[in-house]
C-alpha cells in the first residue's frame, strides 16, 4: 500500500511540474532568455490596442487565438475557457 501511495505522489508531482512548464513555455520552442519575454510583452501591449471588447463571447466569433486570449483576459462574460485553465478555445481546430 505504501508503494502505491508513493508512486501516486511521484506521478502527481511530475504531472504538476510538466503542466506548469508547459503553460509558461512558448509553443514549439524552449524558453530562452529575457529578450523573448520582452518581445512577448511588447506584442501583448500592441494587441491591446488592436482588439477591443465589443460583446463577443464565444470561440466561433473570434478570428485568432490572440484575439480569444485578449477577450478572455480583458472582457467580461466570455465563454471561451470552460475549464478555466487560462487557455481559451482549446478545442477549436482553426487555431
Percent pLDDT > 90 in the chain is: 11
Q: What pTM, to 2 d.p., does this model score?
A: 0.47
Of the listed ranges 6-15, 31-40, 46-55, 65-74, the one predicted with least confidence: 31-40
Tell me the residue range of the domain where 75 lies.
48-95
> Total domain count for the chain?
1
Residue 31 reports pLDDT greater than 60: no
Rounded distance, CA 72 to CA 88, Å?
A: 7
Is residue 41 assigned to a domain? no
Is residue 24 assigned to a domain? no
DSSP character for 10? H
CB 51 within 8 A of CB 43: no
- Over residues 40-63, the pLDDT tens digits come to 555 555 555 588 899 999 999 999
Is residue 25 assigned to a domain? no
Is residue 26 assigned to a domain? no
Amino acid at each position: 500500500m505504501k508503494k502505491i501511495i508513493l508512486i501516486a505522489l511521484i506521478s502527481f508531482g511530475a504531472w504538476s511540474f510538466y503542466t506548469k512548464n508547459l503553460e509558461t513555455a512558448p509553443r514549439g520552442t524552449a524558453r530562452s532568455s529575457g529578450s523573448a519575454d520582452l518581445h512577448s510583452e511588447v506584442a501583448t501591449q500592441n494587441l491591446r490596442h488592436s482588439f477591443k471588447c465589443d460583446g463577443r463571447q464565444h470561440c466561433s466569433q473570434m478570428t485568432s487565438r490572440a484575439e480569444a486570449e485578449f477577450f478572455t483576459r480583458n472582457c467580461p462574460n466570455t465563454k471561451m475557457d470552460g475549464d478555466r485553465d487560462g487557455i481559451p478555445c482549446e478545442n477549436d481546430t482553426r487555431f
